[in-house]
Amino acid sequence: MDPKDPVAVAQALIRCESVTPAEGGAQALLESLLAPLGFAVARPTFSEPDTPDVANLYARRGEGPAFVFAGHTDVVPPGDLARWREGPFSGVIVDGELHGRGAVDMKGAVACMVAAVARRPEAAPVAFLITGDEEGPSINGTSKLLEWAAGRGERFSACLLGEPTNPEALGDVAKIGRRGSLSAVVTLQGAQGHVAYPHLADNPLRRLGPALAALMDEPLDEGTAHFQPSHLEVVGVESGTGAFNVIPASATLQFNVRFNDRHTPDSLKALLTDRLAKALGPDAFAIAFQPRPGEAFLTAPGAFVDLVSDAVEAETGRRPALTTGGGTSDARFIKSYCPVVEFGLVGQTMHQVDERVAVADLETLTRIYERALVAACG
């Protein structure tokens, strides 16, 4: 296939059944396309106990700090195959749209990156940072690939990450940061007993109301210049033995916080623990924060953000809004190594049945990436 053709590359990638954490042939395909373009390609696999092994790809062309295209080849499961109008791994084009799992998130964007560098063989240095673990636990993917590359002396000037950022049309939004994410389980302590003898028991559910109020009633902040206010949501409450005549010994609640750059995971842990202690007493609860929280970060508006925005505006006629909303992404790892901006396809069908992308958008996104590459590499 012609690596300059993003549609052909995207079709081939979609036909690789790389449901996370399976490689499915997608990274082997990328290697076959990038190596003839002068890229030195490495495909390290990373492991950790109790997690799946994950294949990753790092490709580099040219000398010096590299401009990086980053993304992932793993996709979420297709769900009920019978509900798909076209097969989830068919890669067929119907009415000007390319169908298949990953068309938007984010094999389509990866194909555009390949096509952009294929059209600009003189642009150097440039690198690809591709993981198979973005849709999974994100343990054996981008974070370890970055450490691996840094350990070999690789240095990066800036990174363009191809997550689907646009809500309605190509050119709507570029993401210059992401909120952090912190999760925890709170256990409310009590003593089990018979409901007819409550004086012999201690019902932990009586503490549920004060616990919810302590966590959710007072705002965490009022937001910042580039971030909306942080917010905490309780996502689960569990208690009981299944019997109507038994007071439970404990109750648990689960929560997640999406927070802005006024906080760090450690400062939030201290704040929330203190709120609960004041509301319940220090011995009435236990809190267990989940490992590997995401940190909030911002790529401040400046030369690189302008470079990406200029490329988008030149090809779409729209200057993208600069936002930090949405969930987490692998940008949270990349930001520690170089400035990172996210810009990709329209995300309306990502993770859905009949995921699809307009063929015209693949060509436009390729030209945007090509402009950014040339501007970044001089």
Q: Measure the CA–CA gap between 96 and 240, rounded to whole angstroms.
A: 54
Would strands 173-175 and 321-323 be described as parallel, antiparallel, or unpaired? parallel
Closest CA to 179 of 259, 266, 269: 259
List Cα–Cα distances, 272 to 184, 186, 349, in angstroms.
10, 11, 36
Please pick, among 5, 134, 154, 355, the residue that the annotation labels catalytic: 134
* 354 belongs to the catalytic site: no
- Three-state SS for 324? coil
Pairing of strands 297-298, 177-178: antiparallel
Token digits of residue 204: 């932990």
Do 376 and 113 touch, CB atoms closer than 8 A?
Answer: no
- Per the CB < 8 A criterion, the answer to whether 19 and 136 are in contact is no
Contact 317, 169 (CB under 8 A): no
CA-to-CA separations, 306 to 30, 158, 176, 309, in angstroms, rounded: 29, 13, 11, 5
Cα–Cα distance for residue pair 362/98, rounded to 1 Å: 9
- Residue 238 a catalytic site member: no
**Active-site residue (options: 23, 31, 74, 370):** 74
> Any idea which residues carry the catalytic annotation?
74, 134
